[in-house]
Amino acid sequence: MRVILVVGMDGAGKTVLLRRLRLLCREEKPKHGPLFGSASMGFFMRRKEQEKLESQMSIGQFTMPTTGIEEETLVYTGSTFTIREVGAPMLSMWKAYYSQCEAFMFVIDVTNAPQLATAAMELFNILHNDAMVLKGACIVLNKIDAPNALPLPLLRSVLCLDQIASLSNVEIIRVSAKTGENIQTVLQWATGRPRTTHRMSLLDANVSRVHPAAV
Ligand SMILES: Nc1nc2c(ncn2[C@@H]2O[C@H](COP(=O)(O)OP(=O)(O)OP(=O)(O)O)[C@@H](O)[C@H]2O)c(=O)[nH]1
Ligand SMILES: [Mg+2]
Instruction: For residue 36, report the distance from its CA to the centre of ligand 1, in Å.
Output: 39
At 122-181, the pLDDT tens digits run 999 999 999 999 999 999 999 999 999 999 999 999 999 999 998 989 999 999 999 999
What residue's CA is closest to ligand 1, atom 6?
Answer: 13
pLDDT of 48 reads 65
CA 62 and chain centroid, separation: 18
Q: What is the residue extent of each domain of the chain?
A: 2-214
The pTM (predicted TM-score) of the whole model is 0.84
Residues of the binding site: 66, 142-145
What's the full length of the chain, in residues?
215
Residues 54-101: pLDDT tens digits? Answer: 565 566 667 888 888 999 999 998 999 999 999 999 999 999 999 999
Q: Is residue 136 in contact with ligand 1, taking CB distance under 6 Å?
A: no
pLDDT at 114: 97
Q: What residues pair up with 171 in beta bridges, in sequence order? A: 138
Question: In this structure, are residues 139 and 124 in contact, taking their beta carbons and an 8 Å threshold?
Answer: no
* Triad 31, 35, 37: Cα angle to 5°: 130
Sign of CA dihedral 83, 89, 91, 92: negative
| The pLDDT of residue 60 | 63
Q: What is the topology classification, in CATH, of domain 2-214?
A: Rossmann fold (3.40.50)
Which ligand 1 atom is at minimum distance from the Cα of 63?
16
